Chain A
Amino acid sequence: MKIRLWVNHIERSYEVSASVPLREVLYENGYAAVRDSDDCEAFCGSDTVLMDGVPVYADLVPAALADGTWIVTPDGILSLAVLSARGADVSRSFFREETISEEQRKAMKDALMLNGDEGPDCLTVVQQAMIEAGLVQSAYNAPAAALMLTWLLIHYPSPKREEIRDAMSGIFIRDAGYEHYYLAVKLAKEKIDSGSFSTQPAPSFRPELRLIGKPSGKVDGPQLIRGDKVFVEDYVSGDACRLVMLRSPHAHAYIKSIDTSEAEKVPGVVKIITAANCPDTFYMQAGQGNPEPSPHDRRLFNWKVRHVGDRVAGIVAETQEAGERARDLIKVDYEVLKPVFTVEEAMEEGAPRVHNGIVEYRVGAPDNLDEYNKDSGDWREGKVIYQFPLGADIHHNVAASNSGGIGDIEKAFAEADAVVERTYQTSQVQQTPLEPHVCFARMEGGRLTVYASTQVPFHVRRIVGWVTGLPENRIHVVKTRVGGGYGSKQDILIEDVTAYASFITGRPVYCRNTREEEFIANSTRHPMRARVKMSGKKDGTITGIFMEVRANTGPYGNHCLTVPMNSCSKTLPLFKCANMAYDLKVYYTNTPPAGAYQGYGTPKGTYGIMMCMAELAEKLGCDYKEMVLKNHVETGYRLDILKGLGEGREGNVVPVGSCGLREAVLQGCDMINWGVREVSDDPDVRIGKGFAMIMQGSGLPGLDHAEAIAKMETDGTVILNSGCADIGTGLDTICAKAVSEIMCMPMDHVTVLSGDTDASVFDTGSYASSGTFFSGNAAVTAARGLKKEVLKEAALQMGESEEDLELRMPGEVYSKKTGCVKTYAELSHAACAGNGRGTMVYHGTYVTTASSVPYGAHFAQVAVNTRTGEIRVQKFYALQDAGTPINPELALCQMYGASLKSIGHTLYEGMILDEEGRCLNANMTDYGVPMIYEQPDDFKAVLIDVDDPDGPFGAKSISEIACNGAAPAIGIAIHDAVGVWIQSWPMTPEKILRGMGKIGTENS
């Protein structure tokens, strides 16, 4: 049928199928910001549009119902604002009514106010306010949020807090949290009412610097907030085939046979890839440094499926429909095997072996390997290839193990005044980026181009090279903007098969995970069991800590050693304790895969160790705060415990560097009135407080590597070709600020080209909190090198000594001796002239053994309903030492976002499997991510001012650490409220009631 509608005030008509969702019609006709994050689940709000002035989910609107309506898309706000500024009446796009009042008209014009003159860089006030507030990060939903705030200000010109909350109630934000949305509205109102943004969105740091430490926007902010075509899906060509996956219905089974003959007859099917015709190459999907501390234990398709959702066949088809039809015609005969789902099942003697193939080692094979391999299973098991020994024993499902320690732990326990030993269990939680895993690959001139939403473009290239057999010079990885990663896009989960499909067919191929696939076939946080034993003296001194970690890596060994190692390496070094030991084992099981998730293993270790400490304090009769202050590390304390806690190799023993931990604890205790008992008006409600020390890292010293090339163009501007991968956190902005600051030039004269393997030099990628520290330092190194090159060239051109010259704004060289000045444009033009010495350029590389550790303390105040077990987080204060926060407004939002994620896994989130290993809640609604209603009533993020000697301009990492504190802080607060120690997350009302004896007893 033909529908006629007005989209962003322009009349359009489309030939559509009546029941196709309006979102698809809009997206296919160029309105790219009407996106989809939930496959018609009406949850995430990426598909929000205004329909006759009313916010609706376009995925739920059949196209036929849009006939005759007025639609506003998120990427249409700016054009409507421009029309409004020109005097056009655009009211029909924002109001149901044909005529509106003068007050309504004024509110509409105000909300559509442009932030400056009309032009290519122009935004609306609301859009600019969101950038100012630091909200535009991975930004998959930022345009939809801007649409909602615009709608809000039109219909509620002076909105109250609850009205702002209501406007954001249908928009899921995972990266930046919701707190600064209130700030964005305030900023927008200021600009509307008084002509300027007067509230500072974040504190400023380093007054001696021009840009570093100042809230000053984000280089990719405008394109993201406008809703430009910047994500992988926007690069997909019209001729692209779809890659549809047939997935295993069984948790553990051999494929006895697979018949694709009927499927191949479906018109439009190009190729079906299975275990029978895929390369016999074993690899792994974790994007880690090479050689990886993860075993190569899979092929593209295996003869054995190891979890519900495992790949069985990949169908390349002209259309999605053809691919799905073919998928349903593939006949697979399975030999179903008994699965194991938990660590406890996996460790049982005689348990089914998840991997039972030949084991190989690249280096360090044990002497008895041949003997060991005699006990392996049939050929369908494949292989497990270790790059170096990880303490594995796959015959007992052990993918990796490690143990070590310092001092004499048993003696410490024996001589202690009190010992507490508890076991803490964490659930399997999912990163849920708004943009699911997407990949588009195409062959171009004999080269394979891969458009990837990834944290690790160079690792993608390496692994795609392994799978296809192509050398790296024939693979071009383009990291687009990334609509949320949180660790899940550190792994090469669909790029491998999509690139291979394009390579063997010669066709452009697009693959996009469904939301269900995101849950069942991607990476998740490793479920983990941590037994913590801690001893202390009556004076509050902690004398011994032992951590036994048993982790569940699922069917494949992505990050199998390093995630559990983090549970110890980012927790034990918080303590000045002479006797510490750890013992960790990681088990293969048949659950959905595990991998990297922001925080890595640290949230789980922190949960156990801080809860145990709080219980020890109670047992010793000590005040918890005093005990924390007595035992935490300080600058200069030598961290011997790190020796055994490397990434599968010996770790660096270093002293504690810059450390704002004590200040964070003291300031947080003041903020939350530690020690003061709060009383609720509701007699059923008890209020409690808790806090936890936290730490993380800033990349992996000795392993990570970052490079950048700073190049001065002939007009004196600079392009920085950086290997970094900005995943929305503002890394490109950090690099741009660094160059601009060092080169004394305006930031808009600096362009950062990053994440493109053709256009930049190597960088290990954005993971392990390495972005600011490593890639930022590479930008600093490149900029400082370029500065030297410019001074050298200027000395020659100006006939002066380099020592007499200095750089100064707005991009010129000044002679302190003669007062002469040459602009960069003059210098560069001459350098590139017929008799010049060539482009001024510097290739900066950054590697280090220095360890700049961010510290912090997170505080929670909870209200627990003793009748129902319900928990409300009334207050949450995140205080963190991030060194110099280069982008403080972005840093604050990352703290809010990560803290809210952490509150989510503490209270609500958890994948639930049935007895067959099927995930019962593989959707957003039932899985339980927190949205604006779950945000704490009083939520504060505070940056502790510490200058780090090794970080770029003193910066350390900021975001990942913020995932670590909520579980112990809330757990300790729950105990403070109702006396129950909750030893597993999520901490549900049912667990509270059981802990209180309200249920689970004969009297209940």
Chain B
Amino acid sequence: MEGELIKVSGLQEALALKEPDAAFFAGGTGIGYKDSGIHAGKLIVIPDIQGIRDISEEDGYIRIGALVTFTDALECPLTPDYLKEALRFCGSLQKRNMATVGGNVASWRCDSYLIPTLMASGAEICLEDKDGSYRIGIDRYADERDRYADALITAVMVKAEASGDDADFKVLSRRYANTVESHAYLTIAMGRDDGEYRIGLAVKGSGIFHPDIMNWGVSWKMAHVRDDMFGTEEYKRYITCTTLEAMYEDLGGEGGSES
């Protein structure tokens, strides 16, 4: 673990310390991890910050504080089942006890457990920086991450589970990895909300994608997917398409997606 460690107890204190060479330290499974690729001169240790480790319901959304661990989120009845499915992608209990929801989003790894599901569900991200606080869609966050480089994610807002057979909000997620504990080479999620479909896609070594389903075929063809130790490009493209097709069918889609 590199960098000077600075423990903070308040949000503003944390934000004041944030410089380009500093990183926020939450659960430790990202920064503490060997070969994390994160190099920081200062590690701003945030677990003692109050008010961002709770789960609550707000206007049809579930607010999940950034410091909520995967285990806490799994144990909370407010957490939607579709998100629990993604949280369980993290196989190790010890890791689930340490990893935080905010940390998983902030690390923006292309083998992320949660990001594709959050994208497919239309989640929103709450951030705070020295200039103020923001609540933006995760798609926008994906596109403007540089702008929020010094911001701290304070919460993730996910849509509450709809109930009943005729509920129109539904999210499905799949993870493809060599073993449960291996890094995922593909994490795929699709959501349907009020007749609209969303896709979230994390491709190891390629990136995170949130293609518009109407232009899915075009944008997917443009995505840089490569042969690597996890499989050939052809395999990964095939699995992605066949999985999305199956999800589309399971979500009640008709006529097949444009693949």
User: Would you call B34 and A19 a contact (CB within 8 A)?
Assistant: no
With A19-B5, A908-B179 known as contacts, the answer to whether A65 contacts B47 (CB < 8 A) is yes
Q: Which 6 A-B pairs have the closest CB atoms?
A: A170-B92, A60-B32, A933-B180, A170-B94, A18-B5, A928-B178
User: Would you call B234 and A1000 a contact (CB within 8 A)?
Assistant: yes
Which residues of the other chain, B, contact A21 by a CB distance below 8 angstroms? 1, 32
How many angstroms between the C-alpha atoms of A921 and B25 in the bound complex? Answer: 27
User: Would you call A60 and B178 a contact (CB within 8 A)?
Assistant: no
User: Would you call B92 and A45 a contact (CB within 8 A)?
Assistant: yes
| B45 at the A interface (CB under 8 A) | yes
Q: Which one of A38, A62, A933 lies within 8 Å of B32 (CB-CB)?
A: A62
How many angstroms between the C-alpha atoms of A154 and B21 in the bound complex? Answer: 43
With A19-B2, A62-B1, A931-B91 known as contacts, the answer to whether A38 contacts B181 (CB < 8 A) is no
Which residues of the other chain, A, contact B194 by a CB distance below 8 angstroms? none
Chain B 26-49, CB-CB to A under 8 Å as 1, else 0, gives 001100111100000001010100
| A766 vs chain B, min Cβ distance (A) | 29
User: Would you call B29 and A60 a contact (CB within 8 A)?
Assistant: yes
Which residues of the other chain, B, contact A933 by a CB distance below 8 angstroms? 91, 179-181
| A200 at the B interface (CB under 8 A) | no
Q: Which one of B181, B235, B239 lies within 8 Å of A925 (CB-CB)?
A: B181
Which residues of the other chain, A, contact B29 by a CB distance below 8 angstroms? 42, 60
With A60-B28, A169-B91 known as contacts, the answer to whether A926 contacts B183 (CB < 8 A) is yes
Chain A 37-65, CB-CB to B under 8 Å as 1, else 0, gives 01111110100100000111101111011
Which residues of the other chain, A, contact B1 by a CB distance below 8 angstroms? 19-21, 40, 62
| A934 at the B interface (CB under 8 A) | yes
| A355 vs chain B, min Cβ distance (A) | 29
| A429 vs chain B, min Cβ distance (A) | 13
- The count of residues in chain B whose C-beta lies closer than 8 Å to any C-beta of chain A is 42
Which residues of the other chain, A, contact B84 by a CB distance below 8 angstroms? none
Select from chain A the residue with minimum beta-carbon distance to B230.
A926
How many angstroms between the C-alpha atoms of A40 and B1 in the bound complex? Answer: 9
Which residues of the other chain, A, contact B34 by a CB distance below 8 angstroms? 38-41, 923
How many angstroms between the C-alpha atoms of A998 and B239 in the bound complex? Answer: 10
With A19-B43, A908-B178 known as contacts, the answer to whether A867 contacts B229 (CB < 8 A) is no
| A958 vs chain B, min Cβ distance (A) | 26
Counting residue pairs across A and B whose Cβ atoms lie within 8 Å, the total is 129
Which residues of the other chain, B, contact A930 by a CB distance below 8 angstroms? 179
User: Would you call B45 and A54 a contact (CB within 8 A)?
Assistant: no
Which residues of the other chain, A, contact B32 by a CB distance below 8 angstroms? 21, 40, 42, 59-62
Select from chain B the residue with minimum beta-carbon distance to A40.
B34
A-B contact pairs, 12 of them (CB 8 A): A20-B1, A39-B34, A57-B98, A169-B180, A170-B92, A908-B179, A908-B182, A926-B229, A928-B178, A934-B179, A988-B231, A989-B239
Interface residues on A, range: 35 or more
Chain B 1-23, CB-CB to A under 8 Å as 1, else 0, gives 11111010000000000000000
| B232 at the A interface (CB under 8 A) | yes
Which residues of the other chain, B, contact A989 by a CB distance below 8 angstroms? 176, 235, 239
Which residues of the other chain, A, contact B3 by a CB distance below 8 angstroms? 19
| B76 at the A interface (CB under 8 A) | no
| A196 at the B interface (CB under 8 A) | no
| B7 vs chain A, min Cβ distance (A) | 6
| B237 vs chain A, min Cβ distance (A) | 9
| A622 at the B interface (CB under 8 A) | no
How many angstroms between the C-alpha atoms of A989 and B186 in the bound complex? Answer: 13
Chain A 896-932, CB-CB to B under 8 Å as 1, else 0, gives 0000000000001000100000001101011011110
Chain A 547-576, CB-CB to B under 8 Å as 1, else 0, gives 000000000000000000000000000000
| B227 vs chain A, min Cβ distance (A) | 11
Chain B 173-197, CB-CB to A under 8 Å as 1, else 0, gives 0001011111100000000000000
Scoring B1, B2, B25 by chain A CB atoms within 10 A of each residue's CB, the highest score goes to B1
Which residues of the other chain, B, contact A988 by a CB distance below 8 angstroms? 231
How many angstroms between the C-alpha atoms of A582 and B143 in the bound complex? Answer: 61
Which residues of the other chain, B, contact A931 by a CB distance below 8 angstroms? 91, 179-181
User: Would you call B5 and A45 a contact (CB within 8 A)?
Assistant: no
User: Would you call B94 and A55 a contact (CB within 8 A)?
Assistant: yes
A interface list, Cβ under 8 A from B:
18-21, 38-43, 45, 48, 54-57, 59-62, 64-65, 148, 166-167, 169-170, 867-868, 908, 912, 920-921, 923, 925-926, 928-931, 933-934, 988-990, 993, 998-1000, 1004
- 13 additional A-B pairs beyond A19-B3, A990-B232, beta carbons within 8 Å, are A40-B1, A59-B32, A60-B29, A64-B5, A64-B45, A170-B92, A867-B246, A920-B229, A926-B178, A928-B182, A989-B176, A990-B235, A993-B235
| B242 at the A interface (CB under 8 A) | yes
| B243 at the A interface (CB under 8 A) | yes
Q: Which of B231-254 contact A (CB under 8 A)?
A: 231-232, 234-235, 238-239, 242-243, 246
Which residues of the other chain, A, contact B45 by a CB distance below 8 angstroms? 62, 64-65
| B229 vs chain A, min Cβ distance (A) | 4
| B181 vs chain A, min Cβ distance (A) | 6
Which residues of the other chain, A, contact B246 by a CB distance below 8 angstroms? 867
| A113 vs chain B, min Cβ distance (A) | 23
User: Would you call A61 and B28 a contact (CB within 8 A)?
Assistant: yes
Which residues of the other chain, B, contact A868 by a CB distance below 8 angstroms? 176, 239, 242-243
Q: Which of B196-249 contact A (CB under 8 A)?
A: 228-229, 231-232, 234-235, 238-239, 242-243, 246
| B135 at the A interface (CB under 8 A) | no
Which residues of the other chain, B, contact A908 by a CB distance below 8 angstroms? 178-179, 182
User: Would you call A65 and B2 a contact (CB within 8 A)?
Assistant: no
| B109 at the A interface (CB under 8 A) | no
User: Would you call B5 and A60 a contact (CB within 8 A)?
Assistant: no
Which residues of the other chain, A, contact B35 by a CB distance below 8 angstroms? 923
Select from chain B the residue with minimum beta-carbon distance to A930.
B179
How many angstroms between the C-alpha atoms of A38 and B242 in the bound complex? Answer: 36
| B93 at the A interface (CB under 8 A) | yes
| A209 vs chain B, min Cβ distance (A) | 42
| B97 at the A interface (CB under 8 A) | yes
| A313 vs chain B, min Cβ distance (A) | 24
Q: Which one of A20, A167, A920 lies within 8 Å of B93 (CB-CB)?
A: A167
How many angstroms between the C-alpha atoms of A169 and B243 in the bound complex? Answer: 27
Chain B 107-148, CB-CB to A under 8 Å as 1, else 0, gives 000000000000000000000000000000000000000000
Which residues of the other chain, B, contact A912 by a CB distance below 8 angstroms? 229
How many angstroms between the C-alpha atoms of A40 and B34 in the bound complex? Answer: 5
With A61-B32, A867-B242, A1004-B234 known as contacts, the answer to whether A921 contacts B47 (CB < 8 A) is no
